[in-house]
Structure 1
Amino acid sequence: MSAVEGQNYSEEKVIASTGRTMDQWHQLLDGAGATGWKHPQIARWLVDEHGVDGWWAQGITVGFEQARGMRRPGQQADGTFAVSVSRTLGGAEYDAVVERLADSYGETMSRSPGAKHPTARWRDGDESVLMTISPVKGGATRVTLTRSRIADDDGLAAAKADLAAALDRALK
């Protein structure tokens, strides 16, 4: 799997949005010595030196780090892992979803119901679970659950299955 496939970007989208292919970005980063840089430095360099939009700078950086063996798929900059699941539906009421997710994760650690994209977060041992509700086209709503700070990638499939089951229960 190429870094583009791992990031779910088509090569055409990368070129249209950044002016270069992912391989061209990787070659440019190799030439600049970016394999010795930390994630924020790589992304900042893409923005400052090449005018790449911040969102794309993050995607190019992650793709580069994965392609060069600096980061595994799902791995965050701090070395931990994260997985997400989402469901799109006609509408989702924040309080009702949070209440139903409490059956799986307990009382919320923090809530931001008034944010542009309302969130709730639960602590689950050393890990955390974040729920985000976002509007999508046509009046639908996307509910996303992300489990982060997972210590290693051995349990990612199980963590993703757990999130999917919890989200499905909460949205019934």
Structure 2
Amino acid sequence: MSDDTPASATGKDRAAWFALLDSWGAERQGHTAIARHLVETHGVSGGHAQSVSVGYEQERGLRELGQSSGGDRQVGTSRTVNAPADRCTAALADEELRRRWLPDGEFDVRPVGPGSR
């Protein structure tokens, strides 16, 4: 997060937000409480509250770069296949077909939007 990101969107730069969070005792609060505090007490939008919260946690050594609030790290991957979209959807939704296309992977198929998987 650059110094300009929060300032242009919230009227405060990183140093100002971090000082405010320090005075509130944010180091002992946890990510969800920090973000909620920024939204409810200071009127920061949800996305900017997340950005300021994560930046604060990284700056204070509470979270490493790339680490989730739960302490884990996640990795994503993609693969391009030469097939129609409906065939790809069917193959990924059906475990037996999916194993034929991608035999070595473990998958967690979950919803990403209304009516899609």
TM beyond 0.5: yes
CA distance, structure 2, for counterparts of residue 86 and residue 21 of structure 1: 36
Residue equivalent to 2:6: 14
In structure 1, list runs of 5 or more residues that go unmatched: 5-9, 120-172
Q: How many residue pairs were aligned?
A: 105
Residue identity over aligned pairs, in percent, reads: 34
Deviation at 1:13, TM superposition (A): 3.1
Deviation at 1:72, TM superposition (A): 0.8
Residue equivalent to 2:74: 82
TM-score (norm 2): 0.70
Residue equivalent to 1:29: 21
Greater RCO, 1 or 2 (C-alpha within 8 Å, sep 6+): 1
Amino acid at match of 1:11: D
Deviation per residue, 1:61-87 (Å, 9 max, x gap): 111011000111111122111244679
Residue equivalent to 1:170: none
CA RMSD of superposed structures (Å): 3.1
In structure 2, list runs of 5 or more residues that go unmatched: 93-97
Residue equivalent to 2:111: 112
2:55 aligned with 1:56: no
Residue equivalent to 2:62: 70
For the 8 Å contact 1:14–1:20, the answer to whether it is kept is yes
Deviation at 1:110, TM superposition (A): 2.7
Runs of 4+ in 1 over 6 A off after TM superposition: none
CA distance, structure 2, for counterparts of residue 94 and residue 62 of structure 1: 38
TM-aligned CA distance change 1:84 to 1:64, over 3 Å = farther
Question: Equivalent residue of 1:82, what SS?
Answer: coil
